[in-house]
Amino acid sequence: MSATETTKEKMLEAATVLFTSKGYHGTSIREIASKTGVNISLISYYFGGKQGLLEALMTDFLEGYMEELELAVKTPHHDSYEKMLYMAERVLTFMKERHLRARFVLREMTLDSTLIREITSTYLMKEKHLYSIVLKKGIQEGTFAPVSVQWTIMQFRGMVIMPYLHHQYVREVFHLHPQQPHFIKMYRKELREWASKVLLSDSKKEEHKAIPFHHTQHQADFVQP
Amino acid sequence: MSATETTKEKMLEAATVLFTSKGYHGTSIREIASKTGVNISLISYYFGGKQGLLEALMTDFLEGYMEELELAVKTPHHDSYEKMLYMAERVLTFMKERHLRARFVLREMTLDSTLIREITSTYLMKEKHLYSIVLKKGIQEGTFAPVSVQWTIMQFRGMVIMPYLHHQYVREVFHLHPQQPHFIKMYRKELREWASKVLLSDSKKEEHKAIPFHHTQHQADFVQP
Amino acid sequence: MSATETTKEKMLEAATVLFTSKGYHGTSIREIASKTGVNISLISYYFGGKQGLLEALMTDFLEGYMEELELAVKTPHHDSYEKMLYMAERVLTFMKERHLRARFVLREMTLDSTLIREITSTYLMKEKHLYSIVLKKGIQEGTFAPVSVQWTIMQFRGMVIMPYLHHQYVREVFHLHPQQPHFIKMYRKELREWASKVLLSDSKKEEHKAIPFHHTQHQADFVQP
Amino acid sequence: MSATETTKEKMLEAATVLFTSKGYHGTSIREIASKTGVNISLISYYFGGKQGLLEALMTDFLEGYMEELELAVKTPHHDSYEKMLYMAERVLTFMKERHLRARFVLREMTLDSTLIREITSTYLMKEKHLYSIVLKKGIQEGTFAPVSVQWTIMQFRGMVIMPYLHHQYVREVFHLHPQQPHFIKMYRKELREWASKVLLSDSKKEEHKAIPFHHTQHQADFVQP
DNA sequence: CATGAATGAGTCTTCATTCAT
DNA sequence: AATGAATGAAGACTCATTCAT
């Protein structure tokens, strides 16, 4: 890795941390440069300005994100149910490994600046498309109940990104840490549970026996009826 | 309403619009003043600065939000299932009526600035507490299956706020408009469906017949098996 | 004069001095603000930026310049010869009173930036037009010899602006001071002399007896044949 | 010519173009390097910085300029009148061949920075001296009328450099192109005309018959009395 | 001979805020 | 209650220059 690449990477990392906690506009390039340990002007030099840095950050993340989804779709599975969960799994793992950047990008996508829209819209469409394919296939196969494709995607996507976008909330209110392996394991089970209840067709429900709540053993917040 | 109150209200409105689309730091008080049609210094005069404006905006929203939840909890219902859905309903309606402010506040809560934490943490705790009460009660009653309280709250809350926080996404990708009455009506049904599948205990599932998909008649995205 | 106007005027004055001696790009607004004794940001506040200051400076000068020429043309004269000289006289006096600004504007007009062109072209056309009218009239009347209008304008204009654009040269090399009344008086005579030799038709040369060289008495640089 | 010399020459050429249209301070060495197609640092390497480049540019031009004048003075002529016009001719031709550099240097000389003064003052003095010699000689010979030496030099020099310094003006307003051979030819005649009227003593005027206005045949802007 | 990474000083501009009116 | 002049700090960015390679 060349000197340039190393420095660039360090900059992106510093920017990620700062952007995530203070927001894009709330962070000055001076802070980024200082955190990286280089001169201010190097940011404009490498990325052509603060905005270039933002674009690099987002594009880089979204590209990786989409790649995970695409690879997941290509991977052969027993049925659409397993594929759907595998998609979530890969995306979750991907975001876990870069949870700060994930949080920042997901938040930034809630703004409606033209710039953001330009960067993200293609990816969002693609994401919808991929989920859509799998869902439709599953319904046709009879694996899934005849659910509304769009509402299901919205729900599913919402659940997948939730721990990262609402990282702060999850941590403060529930004392859970979405960047830790433990969390992922549990969250996977929750998703599976949800999917089995909401997605599966009645005929398939018995085939796919929902994983029993053995993960609840390390959770003390249950109320016995 | 006095002249002062009107001006203040107009300022808050302008700030809401701008903050929502460009973020807090991305908006200058100059823009707010100009959009309101008043002198810049009036913002510092009324709110003691930009930060004061932010606090007023958030506190005001969160207070109303909590009030809705509290009133919903106090309202007598046939069972916890109905109460839970009624809570969602009130919150949804509250947010629909001020969807811009909702979006902004929800997004701002994903930052981890100390200021934001100070403003929001009490409300978040209270929200968790209220949902918690209802969920636990429902489990004890036997209305709800013995689900994990915390995961369920996270999921439920995620679903409720999703259309407003991800307003941009929902609009661009699915061409739906969460601020329109039509949307609320449909979203209510989705929530009910979800709740019936995920929350209800087996014994109750028959009692509460899930509302059939008659809303799907205006939706063309179904795939028949 | 309001506080604003006074401050603005002071800024324009400071900018004139600095721009003239160091050029537009060679001068920082910090220097201008500091020389004016106000805060830096006031420049952007009043003129909308450094460029706005430049435009104000140039437009203001050029407007005054053209007004002199127009008034001179409107003033009734015995013949075109007197009018022509009167035009020069008024412009000279105008520039003498703001010789720094004159120098700066005249120099700036030798650049070919788009901005400058946009500001100046209209004025230059008008100037040509006014000179043109008088020259043509003079030729028709028989006051002037049938000279080339365009070459004559170029020559005449060159002579009029020379002392101000080449102020530095005139001062350093000839120890003359174009901003002093004395200079103007002498220069007027030179122009008259030039005009009588170059412009007047033979028939008129006798009528308008060239003013004898009595101004040469305070000049020691003559060589007797 | 070595590779070095070629690169240096290309740099000077690029600098000339940019300095002329945007001014010295308005041009960055980055632009110069980029236009030349070499690395930025090479400018500091070759010329010891931006200022060094400026000095090289000016000195080079002024040296050539003076050489022309000196050679003209040394060349034997029938009388001072012919010599004077020959001086103008050589200088005009010299500037025509490098009209961009001429324009830039002439404009730069209207600034009063210390640096510029240091570079130019010697040359200006020399120029004055050379013109002075010829003028005085001519007056003593009786070729020239007893004109004021200094005013005449100012006027003469002004006329000679005008087309190059005011290149933009001449082009935009009169649609003439001082860098084309055609222009030079016409301008030479204008100068001769001017000189015959302004400089020549009465006794000599008949000897040197002013060239009739045959150049006016391609000029349509004449007004017949 | 020529390059690219890196720097520090400096650029213009915008920010939120204050104060006298 | 509301304004507009004015400020100081901070914003992003560009500058010319250096140095190791």
pLDDT tens, residue by residue, B80-98: 999 999 999 999 999 999 9
**Which of C137, C171, C172, C196 should be substituted to probe chain D, the one whose Cβ sees the most D Cβ atoms within 10 Å?**
C172
- Judge whether residue A150 has pLDDT over 60: yes
- B-chain residues within 8 Å CB-CB of A152? none
In chain A, what residues touch B211 (CB-CB under 8 Å)? none
Per residue in C133-174, pLDDT (tens digit) is 999 999 999 999 999 999 999 999 999 999 999 999 999 999
The pLDDT value given to residue B67: 98
DSSP character for B209? Answer: P
pLDDT reported for residue C206: 74
Which residue in the set A113, A150, A216 is minimally distant from B174, CB to CB? Answer: A150
How far does the CA of D31 sit from the C1' of E15, in Å? Answer: 32
Instruction: Report yes or no on chains A and B touching (3+ CB pairs under 8 A).
Output: yes
Q: Residues A157, A109: contact at Cβ < 8 Å?
A: no
- D223/C141 Cβ within 8 A: no
**pLDDT over threshold 50, residue B149:** yes
Neighbours of chain B (3+ CB pairs under 8 A): A
Question: Which among D139, D168, D190 has the least Cβ separation from residue C110?
Answer: D168
Rounded alpha-carbon distances, angstroms, from residue C69 to B103, C94, D158: 63, 10, 22
Nearest-CA distance A7 → chain B (Å): 27
Are the C-beta atoms of residues A153 and A135 closer than 8 Å to each other? yes
Distances (CA, A) of B12 to C31, C87, C188: 40, 61, 67
Is D151:C190 a contact under the CB 8 Å cutoff? Answer: yes
Q: The dihedral of CA A43, A45, A46, A49: what is its sign?
A: positive
- Cα–Cα–Cα angle for D86, D91, D95, rounded to 5 degrees: 150
Chain D contacts in chain C segment 109-138 (CB below 8 A):
109-113, 117, 121, 124-125, 128, 135-136
Confidence of residue B208 (pLDDT cuts 50, 70, 90): low
- Residue B217 DSSP label: G
In this predicted structure, which of A10-19, A118-127, C207-216 has the lowest mean pLDDT?
Answer: C207-216
Task: Decide if pLDDT at C219 tops 70.
Answer: no
| pLDDT at residue A220 tops 70 | no
Q: What is the mean pLDDT of the segment spanning C53-75?
A: 97
Please report residues of B whose CB lies closer than 8 A to that of A223.
Answer: 135-136, 139-140, 146, 149
**Which of A212-221, B12-21, D175-184 bottoms out in mean pLDDT, i.e. has the lowest?**
A212-221
Take residue A177 and report the two structure tokens written for it. Answer: 């840490």
Render pLDDT for B107-132 as a digit per residue (tens, 0 to 9).
Answer: 999 998 899 999 999 999 999 999 99
CA C139, CA B106: separation in Å to the nearest integer?
A: 81
Q: Cβ(A72)–Cβ(A87) under 8 Å?
A: yes
Inter-chain CB proximity C225 and D103 less than 8 Å: no
Q: Tell me what percent of the residues of chain C surpass a pLDDT of 70.
A: 91
Minimal Cβ distance to C112: which of D21, D24, D125: D21
User: Nucleotide F7: nearest residue by CA–C1'?
Assistant: C39
What Å value separates CA C34 and C1' E12?
15
* CA–CA gap between residue C68 and residue C65 (Å, rounded): 5
Q: Tell me what pLDDT residue D204 has.
A: 83
The CA–CA distances, whole Å, from D69 to C62, D89, D123 equal 36, 10, 11
**pLDDT number for residue D2:** 64
Percent of chain B with pLDDT over 70: 91
The yes-or-no verdict on residue C12 having pLDDT over 50 is yes
Of A2, A29, A26, nearest to A107 by C-alpha is A26
Task: Quote the pLDDT of residue D208.
Answer: 65
Using the Cβ of A162 and the Cβ atoms of chain B, whether some distance falls under 8 Å is answered with: yes
Q: Is B28 helix (H, G, I), strand (E, B) or coil?
A: coil
Is the pLDDT score of C90 beyond 90? yes
Question: CA torsion sign, B12 to B18 to B23 to B28?
Answer: negative
**CA–C1' distance A207–F13 (Å)?**
62
All domains of chain D in start order, with CATH? 1-48 (1.10.10.60), 56-211 (1.10.357.10)
CB proximity B190 to A under 8 Å: yes
Token pair in block for residue D217? 């045949």
Mark the nucleotides of strand F covered by protein, meaning any atom under 7 Å from a CB.
Answer: 1-20
pLDDT at D67 over 50: yes
pLDDT score for C209: 60
The CA–C1' separation of B4 and E21, in angstroms, is 20
Q: Is the pLDDT of residue A2 over 80?
A: no
Whether A216 shows a pLDDT value over 70: the answer reads no
Mean pLDDT of D53-76: 96
Using an 8 Å Cβ cutoff, are A67 and A91 in contact? no
Instruction: Kindly state the tokens that stand for A36.
Output: 């990286």
pLDDT confidence band for D206 (50 / 70 / 90): confident
For residue C3, the tally of other CB atoms under 10 A from its CB is 7
- Closest Cβ–Cβ partner in A150, A162, A225 for B146: A225
Write out the two tokens for B193. Answer: 């469906």
Using an 8 Å CB-CB cutoff, list chain C residues near D107.
107, 110-111
Q: What does the pLDDT read at residue C225?
A: 42
Average pLDDT of the residues of chain A? 90
Contacts of D174 in chain C (CB under 8 A): 128, 150, 153-154
CB contact under 8 A, A110 and B146: no
Give the residue on C whose Cα is nearest the Cα of D173: C125
- Are C190 and D146 within 8 A, CB to CB? no
Query: Which pLDDT score, from 0 to 100, does residue C137 have?
Result: 96
| Rounded distance in angstroms from the CA atom of residue C19 to the C1' atom of nucleotide E3 | 37
As a rounded value in angstroms, the CA-to-C1' distance for C56 and E20 is: 29
CA of residue B44 to C1' of nucleotide F2, angstroms: 12
Eight-state DSSP code of residue C44: H
Q: What is the pLDDT of residue A215?
A: 41
Collect all residues of chain D within an 8 Å Cβ-Cβ radius of residue C113. 21-22, 26
Judge whether A81 is closer than 8 Å to chain B, CB to CB: no
Band (C9; pLDDT cuts 50, 70, 90): very high
B85 lies within 8 A of chain A by CB: no
Q: Could you give the CA distance from residue C173 to residue C162 in angstroms, rounded to a whole number?
A: 14
Cα of B155 to nearest chain A Cα, Å = 7
Q: Which residue has the higher pLDDT, B163 or A211?
A: B163
Residue A116 in this model has a pLDDT that exceeds 80: yes
Q: Return the minimum-mean-pLDDT range out of A53-57, B57-61, C113-117, C211-215.
A: C211-215
A185 touches chain B (CB under 8 A): no
pLDDT greater than 60 at residue C220: no
Distances from the Cα of A20 to the Cα of A14, A80, A170, angstroms? 10, 35, 16
Closest by alpha carbon to B126, among B99, B153, B89? B153
> Does the distance separating the beta carbons of C124 and D172 come in below 8 Å?
yes
Q: Do C195 and C210 touch, CB atoms closer than 8 A?
A: no
Q: What is the pLDDT of residues A179-188, one digit of tens each?
A: 999 999 999 9
